[in-house]
Amino acid sequence: MLNLIGTYECKADVKGRVMVPAPLKKQLAPAMPDGFVIKRAVFQPCLELYPMEEWNALMDKMGKLNRFNRKNNDFIRRFTAGVKTVELDTTGRLLIPKDLASFAGIKKELVISSAINIVEIWDKDKYEQAIDDAASDFADLAEEVMGDASDAINGIS
């Protein structure tokens, strides 16, 4: 599993290609031979870039869902809507498909941000707004998500 680190401001060219920053490209190097999957995020107006190994692990989990349950079937369809495979070209650029760029409102200025084992790709203004919107509630969120006393046993504080 990759543990990606970093947030980078980038620019897309007129064709929607983005030069992946060298520090991130270095971290993604082990995943490059297998390629990536890019998709719409579930909760935010951004895109998610999955190394193929991470995507396959997620699909294994989703493959266990009962497709005869309507909610499961609807979830699978919506989760995988617009999914595309992508690769970095020989110069280290990522082509963001036009339909996905449109979904995320990505034009020229964008932010590429690590999210543990995947990468989020945001329109710069939307990213800054999302960070600003979450700032006031972050302490409460951190306490709720990470503040379980039972985690102290595992050395998480």
Tens of pLDDT, residue by residue over 16-71, are: 999 999 999 999 999 999 999 999 999 999 999 999 999 999 999 999 999 999 99
- Number of domains the chain is built from: 1
Give the percent of the chain with pLDDT over 70: 94
CA distance 152 to 157: 6
Q: Is 149 among the domain residues?
A: no
Full residue range of the structural domain in which residue 66 is found: 7-124
Q: Is 157 among the domain residues?
A: no
Q: Is 67 among the domain residues?
A: yes
Q: Is 150 among the domain residues?
A: no
Q: Is 146 among the domain residues?
A: no
Give the percent of the chain with pLDDT over 90: 82
DSSP strands (E only) in the chain? 7-11, 17-19, 36-40, 47-51, 84-86, 93-95, 109-115, 118-123
Q: Is 31 among the domain residues?
A: yes
Q: Is 79 among the domain residues?
A: yes
CATH assignment at residue 15 = 3.40.1550.20
DSSP 49-66: EEEHHHHHHHHHHHTTS-
Instruction: Please check the confidence at residue 118 and state whether its pLDDT lies above 60.
Output: yes
